Structure formats: C-alpha cells, structure tokens
C-alpha cells in the first residue's frame, strides 16, 4: 500500500518535524532538496572565452551573463541590478513598486510578501532594523511582533509613535525560519534601503542592532561599542546624524541592557528636540 507509513517511521517523521519546528524551520519551500552549491558552482565557473584571433579586439565582458529579463545570475550581478533599479526610483512608492518586482534576492521567493515600511515617511526620525520575522511577513509591516511591541513602547517613552517616526529594515523579505540575513543578501538589499533613506530624508537615522549598524554605517566594531555613539551618514544628497542602539529583540533576551537603550533613546529625543521640523 503506497503512501502508508509503519508506526516506527511515522514516529520518526513526527520527531524530525518537531526538531525542525524547534530550530525555527516553519516553512516548506519545495518538495525536493536543491543542491545550491552545485547550482552556484555552475554559475560561478563560466566557460572561459576563446582567445582573440586575427588581431581582433575581444568583445568587452558583460557584467551579467543572464539573458535579458532573467534574474541576475550572480550575487555581484544582483548587487549591480539593485543599484541600477534603486537609483531610478523617483519616489518611495516607485521604490516599493521596483522592489515588488526585483528578482535579484532569493528571499523574495520564500517570503509571503514584501515588508517595505511603516510609519510616517515625512518624520524627522527613521528607524532601521535587520529583517522581518514571521509576524511581519504575515502582515506586510515591519516590527509588529514581540520586538515591535517593545519598540513601540520605547518610542512612546520619548513621545514618538508611528505617526511621527518612520520604520523599515535593511532586508525587506523574511529570511526562512527567521535566520540572520547573509552578508550577500544584505549587500543586495543595501542600495534599496539607502535609496529609501534618501527619499524619506529624515534628520536622524537610528540603526537597530549590530547588523543594521554594520551594514548602513560600515562600522566593524560590535554594537556594545557602537551604541550610543553619533555618526555622520551621507544620504546621497546631504549629511544627517545617525545613532546605533540595541535591537529590541536583543533587549527582550537581555532586559538589563534596557537602561543603556534608554540612554540612547534620551539622546535621540534630545537631538529631535534640538532640531524640530518646520
């Protein structure tokens, strides 16, 4: 009888599923496993071009060897495609539309939807986190889960809500099982969040957690050293002030650090009070 499992195998399958769920794997992506190393190997080792003959100059190499209209074939090609696409967005709405169609980041295929932003894009302050989690993926809005609730309480403590703050993430698609985005995924998404910041044009940028701080501010030191420090951030059209603070998810795990985060939020309030928007 095809499809029937012996009790032993059914127990083993249940145990394996429980193990996956415990590890955060809560999403089935396909029926069969894909050997991504084999795929990457095929892409990253193209056949060498023939040597030029008859003294003719060889054709200049194309950056992206994928056919026109196809997703970029390599991470470098995806980063170039992201840069080209992002810089052409004339508005935040246009940027959202471009991201909806962008095929250079594989996370788009496993996420339920794009998580672009929440709050007021005209606000003087913009908060940037790492990547959406399960709740954000379901709702299509950043920071709506447990860490979002804590972020809202921290905002409220300095007189902010989502009507006078703008919130987004470095990576706008949920990584499967809430894993950390790879450096490659962050680099592919970086041109989009940079353009989003440029178009929203806040006076103050707040990086939530180490990955957002490292990606946006390019600092190598860990968040424990960088939090509470002010940096200059070049939006592309002007220099604004940027500060790093702990990610709310970290504060949920390490509540004693909330007193340091509170200091950072007081510094953000002071900066906002000192530079009110007209």
Decide: residue 10, CB within 10 A, 0-12 exposed, 13-18 middle, 19+ buried: exposed
Nearer to ligand URA, 77 or 249 (CB): 249
167-206 positions binding ligand URA, by CB under 6 A: 169
Decide: residue 112, CB within 10 A, 0-12 exposed, 13-18 middle, 19+ buried: middle
Asked if residue 131 binds ligand URA (CB under 6 A), the reply is yes
Count other Cβ atoms within 10 Å, centred on residue 42. 10
Count other Cβ atoms within 10 Å, centred on residue 209. 22
Nearer to ligand URA, 104 or 129 (CB): 129
* CA 60 to chain CA centroid, nearest Å: 33
Size of the site for ligand URA (CB under 6 A): 13
Give the one residue of 89, 136, 137, 196 binding ligand URA; rule: CB under 6 A. 136
From CA 77, how far away is CA 81, in angstroms rounded?
6
Give the one residue of 104, 120, 130, 173 binding ligand URA; rule: CB under 6 A. 130
Q: Is 248 helix (H, G, I), strand (E, B) or coil?
A: helix
From CA 227, how far away is CA 260, in angstroms rounded?
8
Min dist. Cβ of residue 165 to ligand URA (A): 14
**Window of 52-60, 67-75, 83-91, 127-135 that interacts with ligand URA by CB under 6 A:** 127-135
Nearer to ligand URA, 71 or 140 (CB): 140
Nearer to ligand URA, 79 or 141 (CB): 141
Asked if residue 143 binds ligand URA (CB under 6 A), the reply is yes
Nearer to ligand URA, 66 or 182 (CB): 182
Nearer to ligand URA, 26 or 273 (CB): 26
Give the one residue of 129, 172, 175, 181 binding ligand URA; rule: CB under 6 A. 129
Contact between 105 and 189 under an 8 Å Cβ cutoff? The reply is: yes
Parallel/antiparallel/unpaired status of strands 166-169 and 125-129: parallel
Binding string, residues 201-240; x marks residues near ligand URA by CB under 6 A: ----------------------------------------
Nearer to ligand URA, 120 or 147 (CB): 147
Give the residue nearest to ligand URA (CB). Answer: 129
Asked if residue 133 binds ligand URA (CB under 6 A), the reply is yes
CA distances from 77 to 37, 149, 165, 241, 265 (A): 18, 37, 34, 31, 39
Sequence-ordered list of residues with C-beta below 8 angstroms from that of 137, at least 6 positions apart, any chain: 111, 112, 113, 115, 173, 174
Would you tell me which residues interact with ligand URA (CB under 6 A)? Answer: 129-133, 136, 142-143, 145, 147-148, 169, 249
């Amino acid at each position: 009888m095809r499809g029937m499992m012996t009790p032993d195998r059914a127990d083993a399958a249940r145990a394996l599923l429980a193990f996956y769920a415990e590890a955060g794997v809560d999403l089935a992506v396909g029926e069969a496993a894909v050997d991504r190393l084999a795929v990457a190997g095929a892409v990253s080792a193209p056949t060498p071009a023939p040597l030029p003959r008859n003294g003719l100059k060889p054709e200049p190499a194309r950056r992206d060897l994928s056919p026109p209209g196809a997703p970029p074939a390599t991470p470098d090609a995806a980063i170039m495609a992201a840069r080209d696409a992002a810089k052409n967005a004339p508005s935040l709405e246009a940027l959202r539309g471009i991201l909806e169609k962008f095929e250079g980041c594989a996370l788009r295929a496993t996420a339920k939807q794009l998580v672009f932003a929440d709050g007021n894009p005209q606000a003087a302050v913009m908060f940037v986190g790492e990547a959406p989690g399960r709740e954000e993926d379901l709702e299509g809005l950043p920071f709506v889960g447990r860490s979002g609730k804590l972020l809202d309480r921290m905002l409220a403590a300095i007189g902010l809500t989502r009507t006078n703050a703008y919130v987004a993430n470095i990576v706008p698609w949920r990584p499967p099982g809430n894993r950390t985005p790879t450096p490659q995924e962050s680099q592919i998404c970086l041109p989009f969040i940079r353009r989003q910041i440029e178009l929203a044009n806040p006076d103050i940028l707040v990086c939530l957690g180490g990955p957002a701080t490292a990606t946006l501010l390019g600092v190598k030191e860990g968040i424990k050293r960088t939090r509470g420090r002010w940096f200059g951030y070049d939006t592309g059209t002007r220099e604004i002030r940027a500060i790093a603070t702990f990610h709310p998810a970290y504060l949920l795990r390490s509540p004693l650090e909330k007193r340091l985060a509170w200091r950072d939020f007081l510094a953000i309030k002071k900066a906002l009070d000192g530079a009110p928007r007209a």
